[in-house]
Amino acid sequence: MEQQELEPWRDIAARKKAEQLDRIPEAWRLPDSTDLDKSNILQIPRQSGSLSDIELQITEEYDASELVDELANGNLTSEAVATAFCKRAAIAQQLTNCLTEILFDDAIARAKELDAHFDRTGKPFGPLHGLPISLKDTFQIKGYDASLGVAALCFKPSTTNSALVEHLLSMGAILYCKTNIPQTMMALDSHNNIFGRVRNPAHKDLTPGGSSGGEGALICLHGSPLGIGTDVGGSIRVPALCNGLYGIKPSHGRVPYAGQQGGLPAGSSKLGIEVTAGPIAHSIRDCEMLLRVVGENQPWLFDPDVIPQAWDQQSSVHNQLTSPRRKHQHPLRIGIVRTDGHVTPLPPVQRMLDEVAKVLRLQPSTHLTSIEVVELDLSSLLNKCIKTSNGLFSIDGTNTWFDLLEAQSEPLSPWLKDRIRRREPKTAAEITKLQGQKLDLQTRSLDIWRESGGFWVADPSSSTTLSSRKQSIDREIDVFICPAAPHPIPPTDRWNDVNYTAAFNLLDLPAGIIPVRSVSAEDLACEIGSSEPLNGWDKINRGLWGEEERKLYKGSVLSVQVVAPKLQERRLVEAMAVIDEALKRGKRKGAKGSKL
């Protein structure tokens, strides 16, 4: 009792966990005999006996796009779909600790209202009629906490909805749960003192990622057909990578973000790096569907920062494949970026990227498109992003977070203990200087896409030099591919360098994740060269290639990141679809020289 009086957060945490359990029906709770200590728990929902055959079919055999069609056609009822995903989310919570707020009763009540609307009118309520969507805890939903896993924010229900919540509800979506995050959201793992640690469903010793880690674990277990996370340094892409999923971080101004609970004073993001919201799903087409539907339904009416540009007004890869200057098609041109110049990727990441480039180069031309691969060296640009990003991540010296934690005597999470502390807030002059650096880097990034920009690496097999090409036509690339991390999915609390994702937040470029293949025995047999580490971060990264760490990686997923020009989300998802299909085709055909 004395310890609880000294640390009041413990009592608050106990009350929140009890509230969670109370919102899970007794019939949906797993038996005590469930083996929760398995390394891989992906099959437990199916084996538990808690889900009926139709509930298994709804949650496993349909993706979000198919569910939208089936609901709109009346082949599935909103109540059946909502109940299936509520039940499966309850199971996922018991297995991975992936949820914060549970809205099951409200969700099923809304589903019944949507079914009544459909029965009365014969039409769906909107383009997302009856689709269950999970949300990261930062989104505010009236009547529910947005506590961010911090005791001082618990039991203070939101009085308004976030802008995207209003937009999703207006389109007929069903919001049924919010998902777990790391304390302060400054970690790429997911642990806090209130809700505890999120577990990776496929590899219990590896991280599920963060800060949208609960979303990643929930979707991985098919407890959600489509989730929405937020990203200011990798927080959508890292959980997608860690759970073998697809995820997209849009540019700022594409998806409504206003009205979030971010743990900082309103308007703080205007002085730092803008956070964006985006989808995590099992397929590219589901990510595309969410972005398209949001874009087609006037999202700028919900958030003044959203650019009033409909989805079909964005440039399309398929339209651009026919050059206005030539009568024949030009290929989908894809750049390959192998390193950020700060931390060298470990052997599995290097090998996987080599294989991706090779498979893309071997793809046969079709009536739709052909693929051309070019090498890019962005190390001089990406290396400069690190210091500016770090400066803009902590403009208030993390004092707001420390104030919140200290209000209820909360300790820092293990990964944060030696990484953050109170500092003096940055002055207006310091912030202005950092914003100037950000603008300079964003301006320099415009040169990535043009052959004349200085980032393209000459192809030694070509007889045409870059300089001679410049005199004829300045070629452009559509997207580029790079690692999302310099290491495989690391052990819990061991994520190293964030620059492979955070640089594109600073540059405000849309970026997405495509899962490629698993770590193989051949990968694990590779050794790092004898060269000296580039710096301290590179040395830490090499430490993730020790004998014990390698044992954990086998079978875990390797993914690539695809990046497009600013505010070109349509181009991004279309290119990702082409790349994803090419990689799958290469895997099916066993392309020569490919391990995919």
Q: What is the DSSP letter of 153?
A: G
Is 232 known to sit in a ligand binding site?
yes
Rounded to a whole number of angstroms, the CA Rg of the chain reads: 24
Is 235 known to sit in a ligand binding site?
yes
Rounded-to-integer distance, Cα 94 and Cα 13, Å: 17
Given 50, 235, 251, 445, which residue is catalytic? 235
Determine the 3-state secondary structure of 514 from DSSP.
Answer: strand
Separation of CA 170 from chain center: 24
- Going by their DSSP bridges, the two strands 371-376 and 227-231 should be labelled as unpaired
Measured CA to CA in angstroms, residue 541 lies from 344, 497, 538, 564 at distances of 8, 8, 5, 27
235 catalytic? Reply is yes
Which are the contacts of 166, defined by CB distance < 8 A and separation ≥ 6?
302
136 catalytic? Reply is yes
283 contacts 514 by C-beta, under 8 angstroms: no
Measured CA to CA in angstroms, residue 144 lies from 112, 156, 219 at distances of 21, 8, 22
Is 186 known to sit in a ligand binding site?
no
Number of Cβ within 10 Å of residue 143's Cβ equals: 11
Phi, psi angles (nearest 5°) of residue 148: 60, 25
SS3 content of the chain, % helix, strand, coil (to 5): 45, 10, 45
486 contacts 497 by C-beta, under 8 angstroms: yes
Given 136, 178, 249, 426, which residue is catalytic? 136
Burial-class residue 498 by CB neighbours within 10 Å (0-12, 13-18, 19+): buried
Number of Cβ within 10 Å of residue 96's Cβ equals: 27
Q: What's the per-residue H, E or C state across 347-391? A: HHHHHHHHHHHHHHHHCCCCCCCCEEEEEECCHHHHHHHHHHHHH
Which are the contacts of 89, defined by CB distance < 8 A and separation ≥ 6?
99, 102, 104, 134, 176, 177, 218, 223, 224
Rounded-to-integer distance, Cα 274 and Cα 507, Å: 10
Rounded-to-integer distance, Cα 218 and Cα 528, Å: 35
Measured CA to CA in angstroms, residue 580 lies from 98, 283, 373, 562 at distances of 28, 10, 15, 10
Phi-psi region of 112 (alpha: psi -120 to 50; beta: other; left: phi over 0): alpha
Determine the 3-state secondary structure of 590 from DSSP.
Answer: coil
Tokens 């403009």 found at: 395
Given 50, 211, 269, 445, which residue is catalytic? 211
The letter for the amino acid at 253 is G
96 contacts 134 by C-beta, under 8 angstroms: no
Q: Kindly tell me the sign of the dihedral angle through the C-alpha atoms of 79, 80, 85, 91.
A: positive
123 catalytic? Reply is no
Is 234 known to sit in a ligand binding site?
yes
Catalytic site residues? 136, 211, 235
Annotated binding residues: 185, 211, 232-235
Annotated binding residues for substrate: 185, 211, 232-235
